[in-house]
Amino acid sequence: MQPYYQYSLDALHALESWNETGFIDETVSPPAPRADTHLTQEQTQDFFSSRRSVRNFDPNRKPDTDLLLEAAELATNTPSVCNRQASRLHLFTDRDEILRILSLQNGNSGFAETIPALGVVTVRRGLFTGAGERNQRWIDGGLFAMTFVWSLHALGLNTCMLNWSMTNKPTEKLRSVAGIDPEEDVIVLIAIGYGAEAHRVARSERRSVSEVVRLR
Ligand SMILES: Cc1cc2nc3c(=O)[nH]c(=O)nc-3n(C[C@H](O)[C@H](O)[C@H](O)COP(=O)(O)O)c2cc1C
């Protein structure tokens, strides 16, 4: 059974106890985790500047399923609107299935055959409501996808996000081929694996901070 009913009961009890006695229940309001620096400046630089999209994987080096699940668990730390956690991750490691899915995507030519694992990030549409939340699922799903990619990077895996900016028809086809529920909108696909020996990456120059930031 899903634990959400119990979470709600805990919250109600905590509220009652706060109103009656002023006692702060640690179950629903735990002390904040430490917020001081986790990595040195050098480690931080290295971590963020060493992720690059990889388009040449070692096809014979399949990522361990436990490692993929560990990255997925890390990605559950992603913030989401009202903590709704609407994102879902579909993981594929079967080569034929991966190639069937990738035949529907338009940005993998030349390296599809090398991809040993594939993630499809989706968002459950039913967790959003009204015109005001029309775009929220793309934001929450995008944030989850990015955290997942950083988590994989931290665990030593390489990735390449693969866009799914598609209309309804190809999306329906993808749902049918990948067994994705009609209630889920597709955010992005993610190629996962280990880069082939001595693989190269695209230069992908960055805009300067002054071009990106407007500091007032
Ligand atoms: C949402 C999204 C979709 C992307 N789709 C593709 C794609 O279909 N094919 C591809 O080769 N790269 C794709 N990329 C990778 C980008 O080209 C890449 O992130 C960008 O050039 C910066 O390079 P870097 O990731 O190596 O820093 C995508 C990236 C994002 C964020």
Measured from the Cβ of residue 125, the count of other Cβ atoms closer than 10 Å reads 14
- Is residue 131 domain-resident? yes
User: How many structural domains is the chain composed of?
Assistant: 1
pLDDT of residue 99: 98
pLDDT of residue 10: 93
pLDDT tens-place string over residues 191-215: 999 999 999 999 999 999 999 999 9
Above 90 in pLDDT, residue 159? yes
- Is residue 28 domain-resident? no
**Six-digit token string for 136:** 């929220």
Q: What CA–CA distance (Å, rounded) separates 155 from 11? A: 35
pLDDT of residue 1: 61
- Is residue 189 domain-resident? yes
Q: pTM for the complete prediction?
A: 0.96
Judge if the beta carbon of residue 175 lies within 6 A of ligand 1: no
- Nearest protein Cα to ligand 1, atom 14: 161
Q: What CA–CA distance (Å, rounded) separates 131 from 137? A: 12
Q: What residues make up the domain containing 174?
A: 50-193
- Nearest protein Cα to ligand 1, atom 18: 53
Q: What CA–CA distance (Å, rounded) separates 120 from 105? A: 11
- Atom of ligand 1 at shortest distance to CA of 111? 11
- Is residue 107 domain-resident? yes
- Is residue 79 domain-resident? yes
pLDDT tens-place string over residues 28-81: 999 998 877 789 999 999 999 999 999 999 999 999 999 999 999 999 999 999
**Six-digit token string for 28:** 């629903």
Judge if the beta carbon of residue 142 lies within 6 A of ligand 1: no
pLDDT of residue 161: 98
**What distance in angstroms lies between residue 120's CA and the mean position of ligand 1's atoms?**
15
Contact 53/160 with Cβ under 8 angstroms? yes
| CATH number of the domain bearing residue 88 | 3.40.109.10
